[in-house]
Structure 1
Amino acid sequence: MQPIAQGLLGEFGGTGAEVGRGLTLRMDHGSQYTADDFLNQVRFWGVTPSFAFVAEPQTNGVAERFNRTLKEQAIHGRIFGNLEEVRAAAVEFKDRYNRHWRLEKLGFMSPHEARHAATMKEAA
């Protein structure tokens, strides 16, 4: 739960009610994701849970592909002295990915640009 809270704080400046409204969290059916406490907290933040289909791991493919890209771009081939260096590499990649990577599925916008466009569309 802490990584989600950190992401909300970093992107939206807080972890209060409805701060993540409009976001969807893709996850599998692991016990940590189906626990009432987890689901209640995610819903408090306004994030919509989206479960992968049972026995069809490809439906969790977007999350798995991002994890692979993170490892390829920020982790593999590097030697880290401590956990803080790993954390810093992951944060640097996340920031670069969100602000600069152009994704076909987002109309060749970065995730940051797509979120901004969606927010402006909702406000109009």
Structure 2
Amino acid sequence: MRDEGFAVESICRVLREQGVQVAARTYRYWKKAAPATRIVSDAQILNALHDLKGTPESLYGRRKMVAYLRRQGHAVAHCTVDRLMRLAGVNGISRRRMKPRTTVPGPGDRAPDLLNRDFTAEAPNRVWIADFTYVHTASGWVYIAFIVDVYSQRIVGWHAQTSRGVELVRIPLRLALWERDRTQHPVVPGELTHHSDAGSQYTAVKFTENLALQGITPSIGSVGDAYDNALMESINGLYKTECIGSRIFTPQRLESIVDVELATMSWVQWYNTRRLHSTLGMVPPAEYEEAYWAGHARITESPERVAQPI
């Protein structure tokens, strides 16, 4: 037997002279033997990790990467994924602390805090939380407002604009109600609580009147305490890190509000339908909601709602 023009015995003799003790029969056995099971499985996982580069799933850390690979049919252990992610140079993205303050408290009386930091709900359309954040572009600041259903952590409405007027928070409310009607899961008047911080947009008369017309109960946290809207603050942080900071959804340079809207639209779609959430049992919000609706009667007709513009 020869290997690339050299006899195996000669190669092994030279290796032994260099201190590598290997016999010719050892080489021949290795040459004929099938690759080890671990080598094959490692190669499959490394290929899967390589295919994720440049995709939103590449943002996952070790724990979510394990859940993702298992959903794709790979029987992997946490230690294996940890070892192979280090080998492949794959690391989940980490969140940076948000420093600028966006909440400017409104004057006068406001609704009480009905959640008391309890960010749980027994069903969809029972508790919505809302807040807005900001993004800097070459054309100036862009503000993005979100509304999230606490039950599934699904983003049910969002809107971006270049000013912080009350329309910034009114439009996503209208879009969220429309989306729930469109999917035949409308909001029932009297059942939904809308929770936000004490920003002047959420305490404005135009906004609170809209909530009242739709039969939605307002809830507002205290001034200067992020924990009173902690879940929404966390989702804002995810948006700034995964959508804006990672550059997977955005171009290298954000030129205007158009770039922000396109990136936000793509991120929200991924967040709702594909992103794994540890608090939901490692499933996306849309899948978590569908599991709920599958076990409950679907509402096929929207309830009577006051025909007032919002």
Match of 1:6 among 163, 166, 175: 175
Q: Identity rate of aligned residues, in percent?
A: 26
Q: Is the 8 A contact 2:201 2:207 kept in 1?
A: yes
Note if 1:32 corresponds to 2:201: yes
* Match in the other structure for 1:63: 232
1:20 to 181, 187, 194: 187
When Rg is computed on C-alpha atoms for both structures, the one with the higher figure is: 2
Which amino acid in the other structure matches residue 88 of structure 1?
Answer: L
Structure with bigger helix share is 1
CA 1:10–1:89 in 2, change beyond 3 Å: closer, same or farther? farther
The whole-number CA distance in structure 1 between the counterparts of 2:212 and 2:274 is 29
Q: Spell out, residue by residue over 1:34-81, the C-alpha distance to the aligned partner (whole angstroms, 9 max, x if none).
A: 234313323544555343245532121111111111111122353123
* Per-residue Cα deviation, 1:57-116 (whole angstroms, up to 9, x for no partner): 212111111111111112235312321111010011011000011212223221112222
Give me the whole-angstrom Cα distance separating, in 1, the residues matched to 2:242 and 2:225: 27
Match of 1:99 in 2: 273
Question: Offset at 1:123?
Answer: 1.6
Question: Highest relative contact order (Cα 8 Å, sep 6+), 1 or 2?
Answer: 2
Contact 1:42–1:48 (8 Å) recurs in 2: yes
Q: Distance in 2 between the 1:97 and 1:55 partners?
A: 28
State how many pairs are aligned.
Answer: 121
Look up the SS of the partner of 2:218 in the other structure.
Answer: strand
**Cα distance, 1:47–1:121 mapped onto 2, change above 3 Å:** farther
| Contact 1:26/1:63 (<8 A) preserved | no
Unaligned 5+ segments in structure 2 are: 1-169, 299-310
Show structure 1 runs of 5+ residues with no match. Answer: none
Distance 1:91 1:11, change over 3 A: farther
Equivalent residues in 2 for 1:100-115 (5 A)?
Answer: 100-115=274-289
Structure 1 residue 12 displacement after superposition: 4.3
Aligned partners of 1:103, 1:55: CA distance in 2, in Å? 28
Structure with greater proportional strand content: 2
